[in-house]
Amino acid sequence: MITENNKTCAVIGAGVSGLGAAIRMRNKGHKVTVFEANPFPGGKCSSESKDGYRFDMGPSVFTMPQYVDELFLLSGQNPRDHFNYIPLDPVYKYFFEDGTALDAYHGKEKFAEQLAQKTKDKKEDIIKYLDKAETIYNLTDEVFLKNSLHRLKNFFSWPVAKGILNFGKIGAFDTMAGANQKAFKDSRLVQIFNRYATYNGSSPYLSPATLNVIAHVEIVKGAFYPEGGMFSITSSLVKLAKDIGVEFKFSTPVKEILIENKKIKGLRTDSGVTNFDTVISNMDVYNSYKKLMPAIKRPAKTLDQPKSSSGIIFYWGIKKEFKELGLHNILFSENYEEEFNTIFAKKSIYHDPTIYLNITSKHTPSDAPPGCENWFSFINVPNNQGQDWDMFITEARENMIQKINRVLRTDIRPLIESEMVFDPRVIESRTSSAFGAIYGNSSNNKFAAFLRHANFSKDIKNLYFCGGSVHPGPSIPLCLLSAKITTDLIK
């Protein structure tokens, strides 16, 4: 039962973090209104359909489902009555140009045994590596993921102090690629673990080895498939929010955050001015300042950190079923280091890109016509710095088709019967991600975790921020933790 407190709260953006913040603030007793510029919810975690094919438009790997469940439990509801998911095993299918195909199974033993059979590394060495990733997780979970790094008092708890005292054990002083090259003999294994840098739009050759923690989360703790696809996370949270009294205003972009005497006053939209006691922006923090608070002095040192990579995505309707493919598939480039150098140093696209294929029709057959598959076909590209994206799209399409044909020994060109394309320009216009950088700031330096914007404004009272562009970072679970950290700051 919600105890009303007569306070009002506006949430800007109905992304996953904004939805989490709205649900938590409503449970605190606030009257909550969510303003969303698009006619649909979800932000990056949205859905589109075309020619009988349905696609999840953004995030596709689901881990730590307990953070979704937590919102239902907080609201006094049984999560299983509203939202369900199944464990994945294998989690990924990996394909290499030399013809190697590897399945990434759930669990240390099974994962290590499969990879040891097909690579040069021993099972015990792979398990040792995963044990180290677990240590990083245990040392960083409370420090980086569940607390604000911008409140001094948080550094006086034992879990945080323990993490700081063991800073040397979390890989902060080595790069991800450097650590992985020391751990494994087989370049394919190095590549498999290096790719986790892409989960927050970074380069494994620049980002700290701390990010190897992601391997523990995905392989040991497990990855899951939400029944109905990733958009079911969004749709179930929207329904929950409405059920407990959150109001939504879709197709209603916020034009300005109103501030008076360094304190939140309200918001201005095309419909006029509405006063609010508290404002939480789920909009990319860079654009929150640039577009909604242009008169406020911006924290330039934080906002102008190097931005993450972006993506070119082809949403293809394929007139065939490929038995060798699963839900999550990676077709690796032959020269991973040069691919990342091209993206981050040259600000261009690589001719032999690593391709990620997400095919939800493997688990939800209604996402494609009978005998067909819906391919979310993604490559990493630089964020938008004014490049010729129309030319890049043409090149990327041809390079991706050639690579898929080569690796899978097929010809998909005549099988593509439906197509939609996203590039950094579309991503920015649709999600307000600055420069189309999907993950906010990159993690291409050892202190990146400390350089994300705080979940609150240090200068404006009752102004807060949540989502992938602020602490603790991008991904569904981190965005939901961001909502929790943010709302826990609000008394």
Q: How many CA atoms lie within 13 A of 377 on its CB side?
A: 26
Hunting for tokens 């394929």 — which residue is that? 318
Hunting for tokens 């359909």 — which residue is that? 49
Distance in angstroms (rounded) separating the CA atoms of residues 359 and 56: 10
Provide the sign of the torsion angle of the four alpha carbons 401, 429, 238, 467, taken in this order. positive
Looking at residue 163, what is its pLDDT? Answer: 59
Q: Are 184 and 190 in contact (CB under 8 A)?
A: yes
Looking at residue 107, what is its pLDDT? Answer: 96
The closest of 157, 144, 242 to 200, measured between CA atoms, is: 144
Q: What is the DSSP string of 369-389?
A: -TT-EEEEEEEEE---SS--H
Q: What is the DSSP string of 387-402?
A: --HHHHHHHHHHHHHH
> For 78-87, 168-177, 407-416, 471-480, which range has the lowest pLDDT when averaged over its residues?
168-177
What rounded mean pLDDT belongs to the chain?
94
Looking at residue 141, what is its pLDDT? Answer: 82
The most distant pair of C-alpha atoms in the chain lies apart, rounded to whole Å, by: 66
Model confidence over 183-200: pLDDT tens digits? 999 999 999 999 999 999
pTM of the entire predicted model: 0.95
Distance in angstroms (rounded) separating the CA atoms of residues 84 and 226: 6
Q: Are 273 and 35 in contact (CB under 8 A)?
A: no
Looking at residue 246, what is its pLDDT? Answer: 98
The closest of 433, 40, 23 to 249, measured between CA atoms, is: 40
Q: What is the DSSP string of 299-322?
A: -HHHHTSPB--EEEEEEEEESS--
Model confidence over 54-71: pLDDT tens digits? 999 999 999 999 999 999
Looking at residue 153, what is its pLDDT? Answer: 59
Tokens of 449: 């975790």
Tokens of 411: 């010809």
Distance in angstroms (rounded) separating the CA atoms of residues 473 and 453: 10
Model confidence over 410-468: pLDDT tens digits? 999 999 999 999 999 999 999 999 999 999 999 998 777 678 999 999 999 999 999 99
Strand order in the sheet with 92-95: 101-104, 92-95, 328-331, 355-358, 373-381, 310-318, 416-422
Q: How far is CA 477 from each of CA 16, 64, 181, 227, rounded to the nearest angstrom?
A: 9, 6, 29, 17
Distance in angstroms (rounded) separating the CA atoms of residues 347 and 382: 5
Query: At residue 241, does pLDDT exceed 90?
Result: yes
294: DSSP letter: T
Q: How far is CA 434 from each of CA 262, 297, 345, 386, 457, rounded to the nearest angstrom?
A: 25, 18, 19, 13, 19
